[in-house]
């Protein structure tokens, strides 16, 4: 079996081993692949692995040997599932590998906003504490999370883990979810989506991107939030209207926005969030702890083994 990885750099920048995949066939790994190079590089592939390189209908149609597409992520919108299905190509993803890491990043953002550790660290590197007349100084609001209300939109593996951590911080947890109240832990209150935004001090997005929720968070919904509330997004950048979020930050209607994702990645230099006040932005790295990437690599190999044994797992259908 010829196995081709189109964009292996982000999964394995050099600190992991490809041995598990090398044991399954002849492996070729490209750090990244431009659109016009996909067909040339994948033409002999039986198994094609992609993270963010798009495999659309025209590309899939030019790959006669292709039998299996593995997405090196949970989200699979980079693959034209209908085109793959018509060709009888198996498509698999990697679910639940990054739950702990993404939940951790969600709270890294929230704690950065609540305690402003980076701000004070930078000030102290400049000597400000050394010049202080008192044993401490503050020039930002500091916020205790206990007693605050956390709203979660989407209660999959990550949303549930975020809810559990929020509870440990002493926060009240509300959630907009398709699950029934009976299916939820007793400490989570099922709430309508608009009410989650209206009632909570912190709202965290953990839902997949669909045609129905693109730009879910817009000016109208932001206006319903408590003034000064915090919005977190470690899910998909397209869930928010970025200009509307930047405008809400500028007026103080939104107290802070912590995000690990933007609508276009890498972002354009004029993305309004890059210059917005109180926008805390990390470059889509919540998934990228070594532990999570190692887990992803292992599940990827297991998926291919299962496919070769005619018992595919984690399959995605249109």
Query: According to the model, what pLDDT value does residue 259 have?
Result: 98
| 146: in domain | yes
| 171: in domain | yes
Evaluate whether 92 touches 312 at the Cβ level (below 8 Å): yes
Query: According to the model, what pLDDT value does residue 200 have?
Result: 98
Q: What percent of the chain has pLDDT over 90?
A: 97
The number of CA neighbours under 13 Å toward the Cβ of 8 is 21
Query: According to the model, what pLDDT value does residue 176 have?
Result: 97
Whether residue 275 is found in the same domain as residue 295:
no
Query: According to the model, what pLDDT value does residue 1 have?
Result: 94
Query: According to the model, what pLDDT value does residue 218 have?
Result: 98
Determine the average pLDDT of the residues in 166-189. Answer: 97
Determine the average pLDDT of the residues in 247-256. Answer: 98
Determine the average pLDDT of the residues in 70-98. Answer: 96
Whether residue 297 is found in the same domain as residue 153:
no
Q: If residue 74 lies in a helix (H) or strand (E), which one and from where to where? A: none
Query: According to the model, what pLDDT value does residue 242 have?
Result: 98
Query: According to the model, what pLDDT value does residue 19 have?
Result: 97
Instruction: Tell me the whole-structure pTM to 2 decimals.
Output: 0.94
265 C-beta neighbours (distance < 10 Å), count: 10
Tokens of 37: 């190079």
CA–CA distance, 203 with 263 (Å, rounded to integer): 19
Whether residue 103 is found in the same domain as residue 93:
no
Determine the average pLDDT of the residues in 296-302. Answer: 98
pLDDT in tens, 9-41: 999 999 999 999 999 999 999 999 999 999 999
CA–CA distance, 304 with 306 (Å, rounded to integer): 5
For residue 119, list its beta bridge partners: none
CA–CA distance, 87 with 104 (Å, rounded to integer): 40
Structural Rg of the chain based on CA atoms: 22
Q: How far apart are the first and last CA of the chain?
A: 25
Determine the average pLDDT of the residues in 239-258. Answer: 98
Strand boundaries in the chain, DSSP class E: 2-5, 26-29, 47-50, 68-71, 90-92, 149-153, 172-176, 188-190, 202-205, 229-233, 254-259, 279-281
Determine the average pLDDT of the residues in 67-81. Answer: 95
Whether residue 124 is found in the same domain as residue 239:
yes
Query: According to the model, what pLDDT value does residue 119 have?
Result: 97
202-205/229-233 β-pairing: parallel
| 316: in domain | no
Determine the average pLDDT of the residues in 244-270. Answer: 97
| 57: in domain | yes
The number of CA neighbours under 13 Å toward the Cβ of 132 is 14
CATH code for position 86: 3.40.50.720
pLDDT in tens, 134-161: 999 999 999 999 999 999 999 999 999 9
What is the tally of structural domains in the chain?
Answer: 2
Q: What percent of the chain has pLDDT over 70?
A: 100
Strand boundaries in 156-205, DSSP class E: 172-176, 188-190, 202-205
Query: According to the model, what pLDDT value does residue 100 have?
Result: 98
Determine the average pLDDT of the residues in 232-249. Answer: 98
Residues marked active site are found at: 236, 265, 284
| 252: in domain | yes
The residue range of the domain holding 120 is 99-281
Whether residue 49 is found in the same domain as residue 110:
no
CA–CA distance, 276 with 280 (Å, rounded to integer): 9
110 C-beta neighbours (distance < 10 Å), count: 26
| 116: in domain | yes
């Amino acid at each position: 079996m010829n196995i081709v990885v189109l964009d292996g750099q982000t999964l394995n920048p050099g600190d992991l081993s490809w041995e598990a995949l090398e044991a399954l066939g002849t492996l070729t790994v490209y750090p990244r692949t431009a659109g016009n190079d996909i067909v040339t590089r994948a033409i002999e592939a039986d198994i094609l692995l992609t993270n963010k390189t798009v495999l659309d209908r025209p590309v899939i149609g030019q790959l006669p040997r292709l039998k299996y597409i593995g997405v090196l992520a949970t989200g699979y919108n980079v693959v034209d599932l209908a085109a793959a299905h018509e060709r009888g190509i198996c498509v698999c993803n990697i679910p639940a590998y990054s739950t702990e890491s993404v939940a951790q990043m969600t709270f890294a953002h929230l704690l950065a906003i609540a305690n402003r550790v980076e701000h004070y660290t930078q000030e102290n590197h400049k000597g400000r504490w050394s010049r202080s007349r008192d044993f401490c100084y503050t020039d930002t609001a500091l916020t205790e999370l206990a007693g605050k209300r956390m709203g979660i939109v989407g209660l999959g593996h990550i949303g549930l883990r975020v809810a559990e951590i929020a509870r440990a911080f002493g926060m009240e947890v509300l959630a907009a979810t398709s699950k029934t109240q009976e299916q939820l832990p007793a400490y989570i209150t099922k709430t309508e989506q608009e009410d989650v935004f209206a009632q909570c001090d912190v709202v965290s997005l953990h839902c997949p991107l669909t045609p129905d929720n693109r730009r879910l968070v817009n000016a109208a919904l932001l206006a319903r939030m408590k003034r000064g509330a915090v919005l977190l997004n470690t899910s998909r950048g397209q869930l928010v209207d970025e200009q509307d979020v930047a405008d809400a930050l500028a007026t103080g209607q939104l107290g802070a926005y912590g995000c690990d994702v933007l609508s276009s990645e890498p972002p354009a230099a004029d993305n309004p969030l890059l210059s917005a006040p109180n926008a805390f932005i990390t470059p889509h790295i919540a998934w990228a702890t070594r532990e999570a990437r190692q887990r992803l690599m292992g599940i990827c190999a297991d998926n291919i083994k299962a496919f070769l044994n005619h018992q595919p797992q984690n399959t995605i259908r249109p």
